[in-house]
Each structure stands twice: as structure tokens, then as C-alpha cells.
Amino acid sequence: MKVLITAGPTYEPIDPVRFIGNHSTGKMGYALAEEFAAQGAQVTLVSGPTNLPDPTTASIQTIRVETADQMYAAAREAAPAADVWVFAAAVADYKPRNVAEQKIKKDGDTLTLELVKNVDIARALGEIKRAEQFSVGFALETNNEVAHAQDKLRRKNFDLIVLNSLRVPGAGFRHDTNKVTLLDAGGQMTNFELKPKADVARDIVRTVLARLSREA
């Protein structure tokens, strides 16, 4: 089995010093890479900027990127050969239209940046997904969590979506734990308790493998 995983944030440069980013640590995506590898998969891990070391497991190939465009290019190249896609990265929705070549100096009390939409990596690849490929997305929500996750699942052609809420203490960014709910395209919903991210990764991988086994 070949698995493509995106992980971590993307950094969208404003100038040579500053960027637009988010608080993603990449821990969930890296844990998933390790778990899929432990189950015998060959993993391509496309990672945004994180403080995590590259996995040393021989069956994990790590590709380091910074921007959403770079992540999309790497994921698009790996996607056709992968049996499973897991979009665990927290990709910046917008980027500056223009990147300053020199550091922007303070001038006045305000600074206005014009932002443009980044490519929606999961949605773009979802449009070319083959029937035999299995796609997993993530939804980090703060309100109407289930409804938003179900809508995202449909729009991006996911087979399974992992929902977690920033309202749950110990879940989301900057934590070693997570609490997730898995929703599939058939409407089935499975809730899990707060667990270390390595254990969450094991739950997700087991669910994916069980689904693939049933469909084989």
C-alpha cells in the first residue's frame, strides 16, 4: 500500500522576514505516517514547516515544503500512485498577492495587505481521485462541527473525515492529545475519547484499513 500524507502548517511569505501561518505542529500527520508505516505501507509525507525531525523509518519519505503552492505541487506528483490520501495539513487559506522583496519598514499606524485565495489542495485532488483511491480529510471546527464536517466531506470527495473541535480542552493545535470523531461518506459517525495523538493515529489507520478490507 502507498500512502500520501500532508502535515503541518504552510507559511505564506509577506516579505523576507514575515509570513502568514498558523499554530499547527504537524504532530498528528507525523503520527499517522508512523502508524501507516508500522502497518507495512510506503508513505510519502509532505510536511510544511515544523520543529519535528524527519521520521527515520525507512518506509517514510519526507518532502519538506513551506507554501501551499509547494505543498500542492508535491502532493499532486505523489497522488496518482497512492492508494490512500490523508490531508492532515493546516494549509493557509490565503496568501499575500504581492511579496515584498525587502523587509517592509514601519511607516504609519496601519499596514494593508491584499490577500488572494490559495489552492484548495484536497478539493483539487478530489476532482481527479479514482474510484479505488481512499481519501481522508480533517476538519477543525469551532461551531456547528458535524454539519461543517459533513459539508466538507461532500465538497472535497473524501471517503472519511476526522473532526476535532477547538472547544475541547486538550484537542487541536499545540497539544500531544486529540479527541476526534470520524464521519464517513455513508453517514456513519464514530466518537473517540481524548487520547495521545499516536493512539488517535492508530484509531484512524485501523478505520481506514477496515474500510479498504471491506471494499476489496
Active site residues: 22
For 130, counting Cβ atoms within 10 Å of its Cβ (0-12 exposed, 13-18 middle, 19+ buried), the class is exposed
- The vertex-33 CA angle with 26 and 200, nearest 5°, equals 75
Beta strand residue intervals within 56-133, DSSP E: 60-64, 84-87, 94-96, 115-117
Distance CA 192, CA 117 (A): 33
End-to-end CA distance of the chain: 13
Distance CA 210, CA 148 (A): 25
Distance CA 79, CA 168 (A): 33
Give the cell for residue 54.
Answer: 524527519
Residue 55 and residue 8 in contact, taking contact as beta carbons nearer than 8 Å: no
Distance CA 78, CA 72 (A): 10
What residues form DSSP beta bridges with 191?
Answer: 181
Give the cell for residue 163.
Answer: 473532526
